Amino acid sequence: MDLKEQAISLQENGFIVIENVLTSDECDTYKSMLERDYLLHKDNYVGSNTKDHGLNNKVSEKTVYNMHNKDIKYFDLFDHNKTLPLINYMLQQGSYDNSEPVNLLNISARCPLQGSAKQQLHLDSNLPGKNGYPLILVALFMLDDFNENNGSTIVVPKSHLRDCYAETGKNYDDEVIVNAKHGSVLIFNGALWHGASEKLSSLSRWAVVLGYGRWFIKPSFDFVRNTPDSIFNQLSDERKRLIGLDTAPPLDEFTRVTRRSEQVEYIPGYRVGCN
């Protein structure tokens, strides 16, 4: 499928699977980086006490956040040439001249553990989709095989066109389990109902979950402040923009009066895990 065909399929069904994006060696490399980063940082995560159907309860999964500030190699996923052109195309549609910026909003990875329950079907876009332009797209890189036993992601095709949320705890007849080989990427509209299935096996199930959005949507973390100099100094301008360093609001009217900036913004001095 060429990009236009992929875009049509994504628009119609709300998701698409692209196979063979990563080689087995690349998957292994990223998995060992994630295991390393998880062990390095997990003891310092703050907990969450929000009431959100358990989605923020991370006791039965390994999670790594903000990979952009841990290893520059993760950027090769962020701007992968088999995924980013489609994401940019979809998320620029309808903006002025179809050309306003797209940037990462969420950069995380998860590995549910054996016994991890089926996730509540949910949206990642905070707003049901109904016929509008997509606001957020998620690229879920499968670093392990996804199958019925291994907590594959469940989607409800075309649910990004509904104007409501999935009911709490309800199973839907039109749920589809997305089984695919490691190295595949599931790209879905943030308004699509989805969630990981129950994890029965003890095998690893790492997924890198990247949320991309239109520039005016708030990211999950403050990338302007949480990127270390050692990484910032190696990034191309394009990569700096991809983490939204040109779309953060200005401090005040004496600093800048446009919401977007010609220059990237950056606050130096951040040290990962030392705050």
Contact residues: ligand AKG, CB under 6 A: 110, 124, 153, 194-196, 207, 209
When CB distances are held under 5 to 8 angstroms depending on the partner's kind, the choice from Fe ion, ligand AKG, none that residue 241 binds is none
Beta bridge partners of 194: 122, 155
Residue nearest Fe ion by beta-carbon distance: 124
When CB distances are held under 5 to 8 angstroms depending on the partner's kind, the choice from ligand AKG, Fe ion, none that residue 207 binds is ligand AKG
Run of H or E including 229: helix 229-232
Q: Which is nearer to ligand AKG, 106 or 247 (CB)?
A: 106
For CA atoms 137, 143, 145, 149, the dihedral sign is negative
When CB distances are held under 5 to 8 angstroms depending on the partner's kind, the choice from ligand AKG, Fe ion, none that residue 182 binds is none
Q: Minimum CB separation from Fe ion for residue 15, in Å?
A: 12
When CB distances are held under 5 to 8 angstroms depending on the partner's kind, the choice from ligand AKG, Fe ion, none that residue 217 binds is none
Burial class of residue 44 (count of CB atoms within 10 Å of its CB; 0-12, 13-18, 19+): exposed
Single out the residue of 11, 14, 64 nearest to residue 176, CA to CA.
14
Residues in contact with 166: Cβ distance below 8 Å, sequence separation at least 6, in sequence order: 120, 121, 122, 156, 159, 172, 193
Applying CB under 5 A, among 37, 124, 144, 175 the residue interacting with Fe ion is 124
When CB distances are held under 5 to 8 angstroms depending on the partner's kind, the choice from ligand AKG, Fe ion, none that residue 31 binds is none
Cβ atoms of residues 246 and 261 within 8 Å: yes
Size of the site for Fe ion (CB under 5 A): 1
Q: Which is nearer to ligand AKG, 166 or 196 (CB)?
A: 196
Look-up: residue for tokens 């995560």? 45
Cβ atoms of residues 152 and 197 within 8 Å: yes
Q: Which is nearer to ligand AKG, 195 or 219 (CB)?
A: 195
Q: Minimum CB separation from ligand AKG for residue 76, in Å?
A: 21
Q: Which residues, numbered 53-112, are part of the site for Fe ion (CB under 5 A)? A: none
Residues in contact with 97: Cβ distance below 8 Å, sequence separation at least 6, in sequence order: none
Q: Which is nearer to Fe ion, 124 or 246 (CB)?
A: 124
The site for Fe ion (CB under 5 A) is made up of 124
